[in-house]
Chains A and B, each alone.
Chain A
Amino acid sequence: GENVEQHPSTLSVQEGDSAVIKCTYSDSASNYFPWYKQELGKGPQLIIDIRSNVGEKKDQRIAVTLNKTAKHFSLHITETQPEDSAVYFCAASMGSAGGTSYGKLTFGQGTILTVHP
């Protein structure tokens, strides 16, 4: 089955700096790569996602890049703020029409991001 590795496990930055989290996946059939943010005591919240037919996607301060050949994808957060502090998870799935398979995600181990004021 699919295996997703995520690094680093912890990341500490100063407010205003950039943060980068990297993930690798094993199954070349995976075609959907979401990123989730989880705050303490809450469920994961989708912040951005990318599909295998796209190399990069941006949403304000957040961007995701995908390298299908190398089987890795990364989350980039620019101009970090204290409210960005949370646990971030990458994930992968082999999505197909109908939607169900997109929810069968394999998650990375998570990155604890701390943004210091």
Chain B
Amino acid sequence: NAGVTQTPKFQVLKTGQSMTLQCAQDMNHNSMYWYRQDPGMGLRLIYYSASEGTTDKGEVPNGYNVSRLNKREFSLRLESAAPSQTSVYFCASIHRVTEKLFFGSGTQLSVL
């Protein structure tokens, strides 16, 4: 039982490049989330998915797209990376009954 798994762990991009951050959970959770963490700012919600087939914007969605591929997987795409997107990205999922949020170990992304 791995919980929430994110890949890759580290990535360096050049401005304008694209990439997809992958996230999968094996806890049969319905809702999944993408957060970014910047120094001194805590974590901020980018996008979330209440269930398979649905996605909604969070606090800071600009420059990102998401796909809820199936119940297990929720990916985050940067179409044209910018230095302002340098951050640590966390995927999370929530247990419907306990209503507790579980985080993955993060992807550290640098955009040069």
Residues of A in contact, count (CB < 8 Å): 29
Q: Which of A43, A89, A91, A99 has the most CB of B within 10 A?
A: A43
Residue of A nearest to B49 (CB): A100
Residue of A nearest to B95 (CB): A99
Q: Which residues of B contact A32 (CB under 8 A)?
A: 99
Stretch of B13-21, B38-46, B65-73, B78-86 with 4 or more beta carbons under 8 angstroms from chain A: B38-46
Contact call A103/B33, Cβ cutoff below 8 A: yes
Given A1-B59, A104-B48, A46 and B40 contact (CB-CB distance below 8 Å): no
Total cross-chain contacts (CB, 8 A):
74
Contact call A107/B44, Cβ cutoff below 8 A: yes
Contact with B along A25-41 (1 / 0, CB 8 A): 00000001010100001
Contact call B96/A107, Cβ cutoff below 8 A: no
Asked if B64 is an interface residue, CB under 8 A from chain A, the answer is no
Contact call A103/B103, Cβ cutoff below 8 A: no
From B42, B48, B58, B96, A89 is in contact (CB under 8 Å) with B42
CB proximity of B45 to chain A, nearest CB, Å: 6
Q: Which residues of A contact B93 (CB under 8 A)?
A: 103
Q: Which residues of B contact A107 (CB under 8 A)?
A: 42-44
Contact call A98/B42, Cβ cutoff below 8 A: no
Q: Which of A102, A103, A106 has the most CB of B within 10 A?
A: A103
From A42, A49, A100, B105 is in contact (CB under 8 Å) with A42
